[in-house]
């Protein structure tokens, strides 16, 4: 019995570790009036409801969050995928922002710098 439980736990851990962390594959930043829209393409080996990319944020260099896009469900069969966040207010004079993806298991991943033009 203990061996079977151990095997199940190892299998679950292997599944979690296979998903890794989400990666920003690309960003399209578009200014509209005084606000910005960010179209962010992520890839992540979502395994289901227990391990999936559940959002990404737009941050200033000092870590100030300007906006956050929640992802409500796993994208197991849709990789990579693109989701948008609009009406993001960027302080005047800001030349760069960082897009930081997040998943349920690992938390925040490495950020992706975006030059604002």
Structure tokens at 105: 């298991």
Q: Which helix (H) or strand (E) holds 90?
A: none
Q: Which tens digit of pLDDT belongs to each residue from 13-36?
A: 444 445 689 999 999 999 999 899
Q: 69 pLDDT exceeds 70?
A: yes
Residue 3 has pLDDT above 90, yes or no: no
The whole-angstrom separation of Cα 6 and Cα 1 is 9
Total number of domains in the chain: 1
CA proximity to 100, closest of 52, 51, 73, 67: 67
Mean pLDDT score of the chain: 87
End-to-end, the C-alpha distance of the chain in Å comes to 61
CATH, residue 10: 2.60.40.730
With pLDDT > 90 as the criterion, what percentage of the chain qualifies? Answer: 74
Largest CA distance in the chain: 64
Phi and psi at residue 102, to the nearest 5°: -140, 145
Residue 38, pLDDT > 70, answer: yes
Q: What are the b/e assignments for 15-43, b being 16+ CB within 10 Å?
A: eeeebebbbbeebebeeeeeebebebebb
Domain containing 13 equals: 2-115
Reported as a pLDDT band with limits 50, 70 and 90, residue 12 is: very low
Sign of CA dihedral 12, 18, 21, 22: negative
């Amino acid at each position: 019995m203990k061996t079977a439980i151990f095997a199940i736990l190892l299998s679950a851990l292997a599944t979690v570790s296979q998903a890794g962390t989400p990666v920003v594959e690309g960003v399209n930043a578009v200014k509209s009036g005084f606000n910005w829209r960010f179209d962010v393409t992520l890839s992540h080996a979502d395994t289901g409801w227990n391990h999936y990319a559940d959002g990404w944020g737009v941050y200033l260099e000092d870590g100030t969050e300007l906006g956050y896009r929640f992802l409500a469900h796993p994208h197991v069969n849709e990789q990579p995928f693109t989701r948008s966040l609009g009406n993001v207010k960027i302080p005047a004079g800001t030349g760069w922002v960082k897009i930081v993806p997040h998943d349920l298991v690992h938390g925040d991943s490495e950020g992706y710098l975006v030059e604002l033009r």
